Structure 1
Amino acid sequence: MRPPAQQKQQPPPLFGKPNLRTVVSAGTAAAAPGQKAATAAASKAGNNSDELPHCPPIPGAVGTEYVVQIRTEQRGAAALQYHCRLCNCRFIDVQARDLHVKGRRHRMQYKRKVDPRISVDAKPGVKARPGGLGTQDSVAAATAAVPSETAIEAANRRRREEEQRLRHMQELEWSNFIGCKPGGMWGGGVGQPRRSETSDDRQVLAKHSSVYPTEAELQAVQQLVTRCERALKLASDHLSSESDAQPPLRGVMRVGALAKGLLLHGDLATQLVLLCATWPSRELRNRVVKLLPERLATSPDGPAESSTDEPRPDPPQLQVRLDEDEDCISVHQLAAEDGGLELTCSIYLTSPAVREEAGADSTEPEDDQLDRDKCLEALAALRQAKWFQAKASSLQSCVPVIRVMRDMCQRLPVWAPLPNWAVELLVERCISSAGGGQLVSPGEAIRRVMECLASGVLLPAGPGLRDPCEKLPVDAAASMTAQEREDVTASAQQALRLIAFRQLHRVLDMPPLAAPAAPAAAKRP
């Protein structure tokens, strides 16, 4: 009798599912998710070819049962190839097949699709680190601890990491630039790379140094404002003690160039806003005017007395006046005989209730109440100071360029109608629109501002400058006439031509700077 035919040995199943040969032949859709790619590749490879049994077991290799022989015809002659259904790759000789089944790629595919219990050696380039990092167990544990992410999330993460790396490199190259005090240089700190300044950068910094207030002016302004704030606090305490109702004065805040750090040399006008509980009246303003002289006469708060017996100099004489045209209180410091400075501090009264009632379309204010427009302007000055401190004060080159532009508006009659708030908005948006975290140098910032003005942003048919501190669309340069807008645009176009021909010193009204001297070569011993 003929012995019974021995059944052909089948390869082990993938995760308990039918093996690849069964899936390809049966064409069933019950394969595991990890098998779909291998199944499709195997079925594609099996077309127009004759599959032979898989290769025999090889010492030191796994998954040899998934490597099959394929007989094809090439140029009329029979050819024998090997196809790995796990890795979806082909070989034309036995040596390549043996190297593949012993390699790390084949073992990784076998571990992922067939038997997850086998071990796979780490890459030769990955060195073992202290604490077990770099070993196979630690890599597997770290991989298991990290949640899976989609391709989009991985691309976004790589993009963020690249942006952070580029931003860090730019900060190392352009860091530690002066905020608002002259004398700084473009360059990093200790151990950081340094960027050479261009001629335009040196021109703008030199102009900024000339318009920056002196130390004596800053000290005098600080002393005057501190005395006014202290006197207003004492006046508020006096008014609160006279009535049992809520205090009529809520607080005092700095606005204008003083709050934004934009004071210029010789232009030391300061403004304070006195917040009231209700709509301020003329009777309340007159009472404050009567209380201020006595409170201002007291000695201002200063540092602790020194151990020396030197007498402290008397504070400058102050005069309190009522400005009916501006609806404000003016504190004037007279110039001393020894060459002191003459300063003025304007105090505006307002209340948040004015804006609430104005938004509700209420009736006209009473005769005793202050002008609504003046009160609303004081509230707008508060919002503008907060916006500037949050958005513009931290930008590179913003404060120095605004000082240079303000000096231009005071020096040239054509630029005089341009409001200071419009200048601040224009410079901030020209610098912040550089994009990509790019840091703008002073010379580049001046050029961008002139390009924006020369393009017609202020023209009647242009986009204008929208005030970010207002709810409704409001043009920050609404006070300018059409002819004034045309003149500023034409002047900016002429300035842009001069900058293009390296004549920025004519725009800034200063002599050209000499080229920096080359560093002396180190002498050999």
Structure 2
Amino acid sequence: ILQRLIEDIERALKTVSDKITEQCKINNMPVEPKLPDNVKLNNVEQPTEDATEAYRMLKGAMKVSTLAMRLFLKTDEEYSLVLICANKPSLTLLNDICQELTIGLNAQAIAAIHLDSNNGEQSIPTTYEIETHADDACLTIKCSLLPKHTIRIMLTSPVFRSENFLNLDNTTRQQVAELNPDPIDMLNKNKCLEAAAEIRHSNWFTHCMLEQNSNIIVLRILRDLQYNQTPLSFLNLWCLTLLVYKCQNQPPNLLTSLFRSVFACLSSGILLPNQIGPGIIDPCEKELIDAAAYLTNEQRLSLTNYAQHIIRLIAFENYEKIFQFGSYQTEQLSSDINMK
């Protein structure tokens, strides 16, 4: 059902893109960023002979996070897509997408009912609840077929990052800013940059992690541990992925070795505060940025203590105890370690 829902949303987004493109074309409003002759956008679609593309604001949608990494579990209730825009997205655009997407998804639901009735089958009517979240630069979709699940669609654009421009210096940077003023109701830039980072993370994962099945299995196990309210839940998916990447050079098919190496890495103090630990460097950023910079000192200490305890359990092959921790056991573990 989830896969079908994602496909329906992607199909509806393509229709929305065509409608908005047609409106821009009628109003003669090209949406491609205006650039000096010596400046070009990198890592985006190259201009085509089709003049319509100059008016296409919505370039495409990408699965990110657990969907792109194939790490979703039955316990997950939120999934993410990123909608790539040709230029800086605005609140007006977000509302237009919400309105057209509602029409498109409902039209698909009605068409599905008619198709089933023609085939003599009885189908359950599907309803959608779509909301905009301007502060988060996204919209959310809920479907009656999966009432507990939420699909989050985040908006971004390559023009937000200066790294996406070729031959850009201080002079041309000013020219680009003058040629492309920010929309009055532009969406939160930081949220759009976070969405762009999700794309980079998913692409990196595909190229560096997806080929080894052991990485996927261990990441799924670690994510399951996160749902057991262990200190491991302090780590977001990106940090967890980078930890496994650091430890993936293990003999083939030895999942236990990779699993143990992750906790050995944590227990060694990689996350310790006050720059004692080296941190987890983000490979998708040009600068040296710690992907775990958001962690508090208390969380860092808790993670290190927890990992050291897990290493002891693994040494005695007490794997059943690792996966039986709940909130109460975790509190007991923390107090016992602190007493020691």
For the 8 Å contact 1:422–1:476, the answer to whether it is kept is yes
Residue of structure 1 equivalent to 2:16: 235
Residue of structure 2 equivalent to 1:264: 73
Question: Normalising to structure 2: TM-score of the pair?
Answer: 0.76
Equivalent position to 2:161, from 348, 355, 358:
355
For the 8 Å contact 1:249–1:274, the answer to whether it is kept is yes
* Superposition map of 1:83-482 within 5 A: 220-244=1-25, 245=30, 246-299=55-108, 309-311=119-121, 313-314=123-124, 316-334=126-144, 341-356=147-162, 367-432=184-249, 434=250, 438-460=251-273, 461-482=276-297
Deviations 1:392-440 (A, max 9, x none): 11114111110111122232252222111000111122013x3xxx314
Structure 1 residues 481 and 366 mapped into 2: Cα distance closer, same or farther (>3 Å)? farther
Distance in 1, Cα, partners of 2:7 & 2:125: 12
For the 8 Å contact 2:91–2:134, the answer to whether it is kept is no
% identical equivalent positions: 33
Aligned-pair distance for 1:367?
A: 4.2
Paired letter, 1:319: E
For the 8 Å contact 2:135–2:188, the answer to whether it is kept is no
Deviations 1:16-60 (A, max 9, x none): xxxxxxxxxxxxxxxxxxxxxxxxxxxxxxxxxxxxxxxxxxxxx
Larger Rg: 1
Give the 3-state SS of the residue equivalent to 2:62 in structure 1: strand
Distance in 2, Cα, partners of 1:326 & 1:500: 44
Residue of structure 2 equivalent to 1:186: none
For the 8 Å contact 1:252–1:274, the answer to whether it is kept is yes
For the 8 Å contact 2:313–2:319, the answer to whether it is kept is yes
Distance in 2, Cα, partners of 1:413 & 1:450: 13
Residue of structure 1 equivalent to 2:44: none
Question: Normalising to structure 1: TM-score of the pair?
Answer: 0.50
Residue of structure 2 equivalent to 1:488: 303
Residue of structure 2 equivalent to 1:4: none
Query: Is the helix fraction higher in 1 or 2?
Result: 2
Distance in 1, Cα, partners of 2:195 & 2:70: 18
How many positions carry a matched residue from both structures? Answer: 280
Paired letter, 1:368: D
Distance in 2, Cα, partners of 1:476 & 1:469: 10
Alpha-carbon RMSD across the aligned residues, in angstroms, is 2.5
Moved more, 488-497 or 459-468: 459-468
For the 8 Å contact 1:401–1:445, the answer to whether it is kept is yes
Distance in 1, Cα, partners of 2:5 & 2:230: 31
Residue of structure 2 equivalent to 1:166: none
For the 8 Å contact 2:134–2:187, the answer to whether it is kept is no
Distance in 1, Cα, partners of 2:184 & 2:301: 41
Distance in 1, Cα, partners of 2:297 & 2:159: 35
Deviations 1:186-223 (A, max 9, x none): xxxxxxxxxxxxxxxxxxxxxxxxxxxxxxxxxx1111
Aligned-pair distance for 1:502?
A: 1.3
Deviations 1:137-195 (A, max 9, x none): xxxxxxxxxxxxxxxxxxxxxxxxxxxxxxxxxxxxxxxxxxxxxxxxxxxxxxxxxxx
Structure 1 residues 413 and 448 mapped into 2: Cα distance closer, same or farther (>3 Å)? closer
Paired letter, 1:427: V
Q: Which runs of 5+ in 2 are unaligned?
A: 31-54, 326-340
Residue of structure 1 equivalent to 2:42: none
For the 8 Å contact 1:228–1:296, the answer to whether it is kept is yes
For the 8 Å contact 1:466–1:474, the answer to whether it is kept is yes
Paired letter, 1:320: I
Deviating beyond 3 angstroms after TM superposition, the runs of 4 or more aligned structure 1 residues are 357-367
Q: Which runs of 5+ in 1 are unaligned?
A: 1-219, 511-525
Distance in 1, Cα, partners of 2:134 & 2:187: 10
